[in-house]
Amino acid sequence: MKFFVDTGEIDDIKDLAATGLLDGVTTNPSLIAKSGRNFLELIAEICGVVDGPVSAEVAATDYATMIKEAEKLAAIADNVAVKVPLTEDGLKVCKAMSDNGTMVNVTLCFSAGQAILAAKAGATFISPFVGRLDDICQNGLELIADICQIYSMYPEFDTEVLVASVRNPTHIIESAKMGADVVTCPPSVIKQLYKHPLTDKGLAAFVDDWKKTGQSIL
């Protein structure tokens, strides 16, 4: 499973990139607004830090404007994945851009039917939103299972399942068990994967026992 970080904070991206765990970055208008940065400049900077796909989302909702925005975003760097909404016009943009060799991330997916349409339109990634379905008392992970099963039955579908709106480590682990290709989540959720009380307890015991030896490695 590939790990993408969902943030517009360049310092967090650099920190995670240094661990070797980071395979890509996703952004959205809300994250860009939170960062306070110029959108185009920020995407260019992120693309210089991360070798993998960097999702940059169009702001328009109509085809004519979206395609112009998509072309401008794609020109920033070769690793830009243009992000479009799962709407009729969004899928038209997806088809046009993917036919030209540009990576496309189709976002705001909430049903398996929508995921089928995105794959047929040539999406590089489909982003089903797990947490937002959980928020309305639907099981977001069931959607991941459905999409993974459907895609596995059609070899002509090259679209990768990019699990989005991730709220906790369980979302990551369960999605991995289902065979999802990618997960994108805030830095805080990725860092939660490090944590286990037995790890902390064991390390504390090792440190204490080492002190008792009176030795130093350096």
Torsion 158-165-95-142 (CA) sign = positive
On whether the CB atoms of residues 167 and 130 are closer than 8 A, the answer is yes
On whether the CB atoms of residues 164 and 198 are closer than 8 A, the answer is no
83 flagged as catalytic: yes
Active-site pick, 83, 92, 191, 201: 83
User: Which residues fall within 8 angstroms of residue 9, CB to CB, at 6 or more apart?
Assistant: 35, 187
Question: What DSSP character marks residue 65?
Answer: H
Distance CA 3, CA 12 (A): 14
On whether the CB atoms of residues 105 and 26 are closer than 8 A, the answer is yes
The set of catalytic residues is: 83
